[in-house]
Amino acid sequence: MPSVMSMRKPSTKFSLQGPPGLPYVAASSPDQTPGVPLSCCSRNWSNALLGRSPMATSEDLEKKTSATSAPSLLRRLYLRVLAEAETSRGPAVLAAVAFTESSFFPIPPDPLLIALGIGAPRRAIPLAILTTVMSVLGGLLGYAIGAWMMDTVGDSIIALFGAQATFEEVKGGFLAYGFLSVVTAALTPIPYKIFTIAAGAAGLPLAIFIPASIIGRGTRFIAEGILVWRYGEPIRDFIDRWFAALTIAAVILGVLGVALLQI
C-alpha cells in the first residue's frame, strides 16, 4: 500500500469540478475578483468561480487563464491548489488549505480532497479525517481572531470578503442558535470563516463551538471521503450536483426535529 507522500497520480485528468458551494459571487468579468457570500446551495461552484462552461476541460481553462491579461487572484489560487493533487505535496497542501480556509483563505479544501481521494481511493477516508482535524483547528484560529483581534485583523478579513452585513446577522444568530449555527455553517457551503470569527466576537463558549465544529466539519468531509472511497471517479459529478442540496436538506430536517421536540 503506498504511503500518503508517495501517492500515485490520478489516472484521469481533473475536470476542476468539486463539490458545490464555494460561497462567493462569481466574477462578472475575467478581471473582477469574487468576494461576497452567494448561497449555501449553489451548484457547479467551480464553474461559476472560474467562469467556464461545465463541459470545458482543464486545458481549455488554462488557455483561457493564460490568455487573460490580468486573471483574477482567486482563479489562479484555485488552479494552483488543485494542481497540488498531482504532486507529493498534496496531503500537506490539503492540510494547510483546510486550516486556513476556516479563518481567512478563500478556497475550500473539498476539491483537493476529492482529487487526492480519486487518485488513491484507499487514502480518501484518512485524508478526510486529516481535513476535518485541520479545519477544526483552523476554526479555533478564526475564533481567536474574533475574540481578541477583531479590531486589528477580524474587521479586515470581513471587509475583504465584503461580508460586513452578513457578519452582524451571524453574530445575532448565535444568541438564539449558537450550537446549531456552528453545525450548519460547518456542514454546509456557507462561508465557515464568517462563522468562526463571529463566534469569537460573540463570545460563544468554546465548549459549544468545538463540538459543533467537529460534528459539522467531520460530517461534511468524511461523507465526501466515503463517497470517493466507495465509488471513485464516477461520484465526482454526483457530489458536484447534489452534495450541497443533501446537506442543506439534512440541516432543515434537524431544525424541524429540534422545533418539534420543543413543542
d(CA 30, CA 22): 17
Domains of the chain, by residue range, sit at 89-262
pTM, to two decimals = 0.67
Q: Are 142 and 112 in contact (CB under 8 A)?
A: no
pLDDT of residue 200: 93
pLDDT of residue 250: 60
Name the 3-class secondary structure at 8. coil
pLDDT of residue 256: 59
Nearest to 23 by CA among 2, 3, 1, 40: 40
Confidence grade of residue 251 (pLDDT, cut at 50, 70, 90): low
Mean pLDDT, to the nearest integer, of 213-220?
91
pLDDT of residue 93: 95
User: In terms of pLDDT, which residue wins out, 9 or 242?
Assistant: 242
Residue with cell 483552523: 138
pLDDT of residue 245: 66
C-alpha cell, 191: 462561508
pLDDT of residue 210: 94
Q: Is the pLDDT of residue 212 over 60?
A: yes
Confidence grade of residue 187 (pLDDT, cut at 50, 70, 90): confident
Confidence grade of residue 238 (pLDDT, cut at 50, 70, 90): confident
Q: Is the pLDDT of residue 51 over 60?
A: no
Residue with cell 465557515: 192
pLDDT of residue 248: 64
Q: Is the pLDDT of residue 235 over 60?
A: yes
Number of continuous H segments (helices) and E segments (strands) in the chain: 11, 0
pLDDT of residue 75: 77
pLDDT of residue 186: 77
The DSSP result for 216-231, as a single string, is: HHHHHHHHHHHHHHHH
CB atoms within 10 A of CB 66: 8
Confidence grade of residue 91 (pLDDT, cut at 50, 70, 90): very high
Q: Is the pLDDT of residue 103 over 60?
A: yes
Mean pLDDT, to the nearest integer, of 196-208?
92
Share of the chain above pLDDT 70, in %: 63
Burial of 77 (0-12, 13-18, 19+ CB in 10 A): middle
Among 62-76, 120-134, 141-155, 162-176, which stretch is predicted with the lowest mean pLDDT? 62-76
User: In terms of pLDDT, which residue wins out, 4 or 114?
Assistant: 114
> pLDDT of 65-75, one tens digit each?
444 433 477 77
The DSSP result for 10-77, as a single string, is: PSS---S---S---SPPPSSTTPPP-S---SS-SSHHHHHHT--TT--HHHHHHHHHHSSS--HHHHH
Please tell me which of 41-45, 48-52, 232-236 the model is most confident about, judged by mean pLDDT: 232-236
pLDDT of residue 253: 58
